[in-house]
Amino acid sequence: MTDNAFAAVDLGATSGRVVRGVVEPDRIEVREVHRFANTPVQLPDGLHWNIGGLFAELCTGLAAAGPVRSAGIDSWAVDYGLLDADGALLGLPYHYRDRRTALLAPPAIGASELFRRNGIADLPFNTIHQLRAEPEHRLAAARRLLLIPDLLGYWLTGRMGTERTNASTTGLYHVSERDWDRTLISRLDLPHHLFAPISSAGTAIGRLREPIRSVAGGHDLTVVRVASHDTASAVAAVPATGPGFAYISCGTWSLVGVERPTPLLSAAARDTGFTNESGVCGIRYLRNVMGLWLLEECLREWPGLDIATLVTRAAELPGLTSVIDVDDPDFATPAGAGEASMTARIAARCDGPAPASPAEFARCIFDSLALGHARAVTDAVRTSGRRVEIIHLVGGGARNELLCRLTAEACGLPVAAGPVEATALGNLLAQAMAANIIGDWSQARALVAATHPPRRYEPTGDSAWRRAADRVTALAEKRAA
């Protein structure tokens, strides 16, 4: 029976996977059926995603999932493909870490007005700035812009459109009017025809095209728009049982924030780097923290080591010996093309003795990331006025017991860790709601809490964390001076 079976395609910045899930009102069973690397391609004109390779892996994963009722796709945000009048892709999509936006002049519209319109932190990799960096000939040839999940959904079904949670990350979405900001698009001299109609999670895109069925296992299924920004899907599956919580979706990035019914467009929100992104339960008021990207980059320098080994070794070392400011933008770019290695950058920018061994670098990163989580939670509470009694940490970072414990210590609040597979669960639950198996997101979260109970970490109240936070603040002030 396939009525309660679904496939979640979950694409992260370093790897992707396809998960088969069976969802019923009182149970969720998930099984990973295909996993693959997501390796960017460095070409003469910049850093790109191998989108054709990802599509081939997606189809392999759908075949491995077997007969299912529907499939949904989520991925990282902001990146896109440009299509010509015939629907053909105009080159590989750029990677958000490509440096093509670094030298752009600020847009004519001021930062304050921009935030009042789009409600998001003004980061150089946002879609709005990537489009400003596009050569005129590419924009002239383009007839449609599709964000990564929407592009893959188009290749599967032949139907174009845009999903709301991802649209809200672009900088071109009016957060209060909940549609493309046509006035802003005109002021930036961007073609209006690029922007496809927006629909919400839970709406069907269409059925698999006939040529695709044969490479996707020969199965007929419907492709459903889920919360296609992976963070939106992860937050949707937070197993919260009350309103007084903050969340950390922890992976390559850590997305730290609270939920609100409406956007918060104050100067304090803008000045502290918060963003208002659409979610399935209102607005995700959050801030980007650098995340485990720091360690992932270091691992490229240490062949044969893995995160699990480093967590074990780091846990044996004294804490807070060396700390860095994980929000330092100098950590954001990959090594190479004139950029120093990640370990060299950490050693040069830490407070305390420079780490010497992989375990010492890992301990520095985990301690510092916990402090970055705490600063973001504190700022979220201060600027939003939301009460927070517990922090839900979901995603891949939830399996890192050391990081979860350190985050509880740094925040001075209990941390409920898990589920690790929150993004895939949010993807599957959106499909189950579209199939009328689950009634609403409150029921969905209760189901996650019952079937994937989180592990709880309690703070001890160690005052060393307050002193460490002051050290990181001093690093940030030195950088800004």
> Are residues 68 and 190 located together in one domain of the fold?
yes
| Global confidence as pTM | 0.95
73, 44: one domain: yes
Number of other CB atoms surrounding residue 217 within 10 Å: 18
Q: What is the CATH number of the domain that holds 289?
A: 3.30.420.40
Domain that holds residue 246: 238-418+454-480
Residue 201 domain-assigned (yes or no): yes
Residue 474 lies in a domain: yes
Catalytic residue selected from 230, 327, 367, 379: 230
3 state DSSP class of 389: coil
Residue 230 annotated to the active site: yes
Closest CA to 469 of 421, 394, 422, 410: 410
In a domain, 297, yes or no: yes
Verify that 201 and 59 share a domain, yes or no.
Answer: yes
List the beta bridge partners of residue 29. 22
Domains contained in the chain, number: 2
Q: Are residues 265 and 397 in the same domain?
A: yes
Residue 435 lies in a domain: no
Same domain for 463 and 344? yes
pLDDT of the chain along its 481 residues, tens only?
A: 579 999 999 999 999 999 999 999 999 999 999 999 999 999 999 999 999 999 999 999 999 999 999 999 999 999 999 999 999 999 999 999 999 998 899 898 999 999 999 999 999 999 999 999 999 999 999 999 999 999 999 999 999 999 999 999 999 999 999 999 999 999 999 999 999 999 999 999 999 999 999 999 888 999 999 999 999 999 999 999 888 999 999 999 999 999 999 999 999 999 999 999 999 999 999 999 999 999 999 999 999 999 999 999 999 999 999 999 999 999 998 887 678 999 999 999 999 999 999 999 999 999 999 999 999 999 999 999 999 999 999 999 999 999 999 999 999 999 999 999 999 999 999 999 999 999 999 999 999 999 999 999 999 999 999 999 999 999 999 998 8
CB atoms within 10 A of CB 105: 6
Residues 149 and 278 both lie in one domain: no
* Residues 347 and 264 reside in one and the same domain: yes
Residue 224 and residue 342 share a domain: no
Q: Are residues 171 and 45 in the same domain?
A: yes
The structure tokens listed for 286 are 């959050």
> Is 429 contained in some domain?
no
Beta pairing partners, 288: 255
Write down which residue in 174, 201, 228 finishes a domain: 228
Residues 376 and 475 in one domain: yes
Non-local CB neighbours of 236 within 8 Å, separated by 6+ positions:
227, 279, 280, 281, 426, 429, 430, 441, 444, 445
Q: Is 381 left (phi over 0), alpha (psi -120 to 50) or beta?
A: alpha
Give the domain-ending residue among 191, 207, 228.
228
Q: Are residues 212 and 276 in the same domain?
A: no
Amino acid at the residue 111: A
- Token pair 């510092």 is found at 368
Domain boundary among 184, 207, 228: 228
